[in-house]
Amino acid sequence: MFLYMLIFLAYHSSRWIQRNQRLKFQIVNVVFAALVLAPQFYVMGRPKSSRYCRQPLLNNLSASIALSFIASGFSVIFTLMDPVPQGIWACYHVFGLLTCGHGLCTTILTLTAAACENTTPELYYMSLLLTVASIFSTGFFMVRGGLWLTSRLPATDPSRNNER
């Protein structure tokens, strides 16, 4: 869910900037996309990453790169369009479910790939980094969702509890 959170943050950050100045915000978008993609491509290109590892961490990294490209596209769309059409919002939330599933798979693969730390260290540590980022962002959205739910629930009057 880390990529889902990056899009969320890009969208809400861009809304602080005037509409005619948002194109300048795209430079920040490109920097963040490079910061997310460059380490993944670096690890993918390392010779040690192609060594044998019992868990398919390399395949998982490939999926992460593909999702990162999709996330950069969403962040560009969300920062330039105002208002964002409902269909794009729906696609964004489906993407959030995909990244949640990917984060879960990454976590499971990383926890079961302790032996890969010796054979493919860069790949293992990248997977570990993606796991930590996924756990952090999932926690962020759980707190945010909990706050959203509490704001939607009807308020109860504590003085009415004594009337029963």
How do residues 56-92 score in pLDDT, each as one tens digit? 888 999 999 999 999 999 998 888 888 889 999 999 9
**What is the pLDDT at residue 49?**
73
For residue 26, the model assigns a pLDDT of: 82
Residue type, 7: I
Domain layout of the chain by residue ranges: 2-142
The count of C-alpha atoms lying within 13 angstroms of the C-alpha of 156, restricted to the half-sphere facing its C-beta, is: 7
Query: What's the rounded Cα separation, in Å, for the pair 92 and 95?
Result: 5
Length of the chain: 164
Range in 13-17, 102-106, 152-156 the model is least confident about: 152-156
Measured between alpha carbons, how far is 92 from 77 in angstroms, rounded to an integer? Answer: 11
Percentage, residues of the chain above pLDDT 70? 94
